[in-house]
Structure 1
Amino acid sequence: MNEETARRRGRPSSKERALDAALEIVLESGAGHLTFEALAEKSGISRGGLLYNFPSKQALLKDLVRRYIEQCRQEIDAIEADRPPTLNSAIRKLVEQRLSSPPHDRRAAGSMLAAMAEDPALVEPVREHHEELANEIRATSERPDLAFVAWMALEGLFFQELFGLSPMSSEERVSLIERIRELADPPRPSP
């Protein structure tokens, strides 16, 4: 059975299984411990099968980063998917996606950072993704300057929490999130 048939039947392809196993290895031990031997053992896929999908470790890491970006994009697009784009919708969706991401996704983001540290060329797809988000924010925001402040505050919060550096109490975090939401979608004056 080929990869496409497996996908249609609801089973992940060997490439997706390998990426899942690679992410587990990176989450458990770091990108430096991601080897084809470790991946073959974790995924149950032969080294030859892995090399068919990923001719190098760089190709594997690149696909991990690509998949993470695609998952983020799908999560963003799913928010308010049943509604037409409105004023401030791009930044509002980005805020909600980032705030609703489960701890596993945050660990995956940390793993992607580790992969990028190992191979700085992997930053490029992330940079492109951020440029797309910035263009959407510019195109849909009433006040792009405030939307960018909200986005950067959100990213700061995300990375502070990712690395366990946040000095804020729970109450301060809730208050900060309220301010970020207000910046992302400021209330309009009453007529």
Structure 2
Amino acid sequence: MQATTSSRKNPEMTRQKILNHTIQLAAEKGVSGVSIQGVADLVGVSKGGVFHHFPNKQKLLEEMIAELLQRLDGFVDQAIAKDPVAQGCFTRAYIEATLQAEPDEVQLWSAISMTILTEPVLNNMWMRWYQARLKRHKQTDDHLELKILRYAADGVWLTAFAEIDDPNETEHMKQELIQRSYFKSSNKQ
């Protein structure tokens, strides 16, 4: 009963806990592993408590993706702010985010990837985010070489995610892709 009383006093904190535990479940089990009851059990609220914040599972998953994309935006913006070279800055940030070895970031990407691969509505949210970032960075990252590097990062991620590759090789590939993003641009695209 303590969790319920605490939840009533701070609904925003409860909402955030629900989102965080949804991310955890999606990262571990994919979309099919996310259930309202499972999230409620992890948070320590009733199913009704989850429904108070999210009217259904689909809305919960959509909010989860929105939360993850917001976190991803922050990560990408920080990486770009630290990058002294404008050309390719988004691509390097994308590669860093995609092939991040930190546990929290791996969980974030796993949750996004597991979800967007299986849910068209959520895939559309991802694509809108990605297209908006490409549009935003058109002057610095609209080059075929950089597009190929982003695609390669996705392939390396898939290989690492499927545990076909070892983490040292993934790190080596990440560094190689980042290094290749520093090239002399010609007008050919």
Specify the alignment match of 1:158 in structure 2.
157
- Cα distance in 2 between the residues matched to 1:172 and 1:119: 27
Specify the alignment match of 1:106 in structure 2.
106
Do 1:79 and 1:93's aligned partners in 2 also have CA atoms closer than 8 Å? yes
- Cα distance in 1 between the residues matched to 2:80 and 2:36: 40
Specify the alignment match of 2:133 in structure 1.
133
Do 2:80 and 2:93's aligned partners in 1 also have CA atoms closer than 8 Å? yes
Q: Name the aligned partner's letter for residue 58 of structure 2.
A: Q
**Does the C-alpha gap of structure 1 residues 119 and 94 become closer, same or farther in structure 2, counting only changes over 3 Å?**
closer
Specify the alignment match of 1:71 in structure 2.
71
**Does the C-alpha gap of structure 1 residues 23 and 149 become closer, same or farther in structure 2, counting only changes over 3 Å?**
same
Specify the alignment match of 2:87 in structure 1.
87
Alpha-carbon shift at residue 73 of structure 1 (Å): 0.9
Specify the alignment match of 1:147 in structure 2.
146
**Does the C-alpha gap of structure 1 residues 33 and 154 become closer, same or farther in structure 2, counting only changes over 3 Å?**
closer
What runs of 5+ residues in structure 2 fail to find an aligned partner? none
Do 1:91 and 1:151's aligned partners in 2 also have CA atoms closer than 8 Å? yes
Per-residue CA deviations over 1:70-98 (Å, capped at 9, x if unaligned) read: 11111010124267872332222223333
- Cα distance in 1 between the residues matched to 2:118 and 2:87: 39
**Does the C-alpha gap of structure 1 residues 183 and 19 become closer, same or farther in structure 2, counting only changes over 3 Å?**
same
- Cα distance in 2 between the residues matched to 1:128 and 1:101: 25
Q: Name the aligned partner's letter for residue 180 of structure 1.
A: L
- Cα distance in 1 between the residues matched to 2:28 and 2:170: 31
Alpha-carbon shift at residue 118 of structure 1 (Å): 4.8
Residues matched between the structures, number: 180
Alpha-carbon shift at residue 58 of structure 1 (Å): 0.3
Do 1:90 and 1:137's aligned partners in 2 also have CA atoms closer than 8 Å? yes
2:180 to 180, 183, 186: 183
Alpha-carbon shift at residue 171 of structure 1 (Å): 5.7
Alpha-carbon shift at residue 178 of structure 1 (Å): 4.1
**Does the C-alpha gap of structure 1 residues 54 and 93 become closer, same or farther in structure 2, counting only changes over 3 Å?**
same
Alpha-carbon shift at residue 113 of structure 1 (Å): 3.3
What runs of 5+ residues in structure 1 fail to find an aligned partner? none
Do 2:98 and 2:109's aligned partners in 1 also have CA atoms closer than 8 Å? no
- Cα distance in 2 between the residues matched to 1:92 and 1:16: 30
- Cα distance in 1 between the residues matched to 2:162 and 2:67: 22
- Cα distance in 2 between the residues matched to 1:67 and 1:52: 18
Q: Give the SS at the match of 2:45.
A: coil
CA RMSD in angstroms comes to 3.2
- Cα distance in 2 between the residues matched to 1:169 and 1:65: 26
- Cα distance in 1 between the residues matched to 2:14 and 2:170: 45
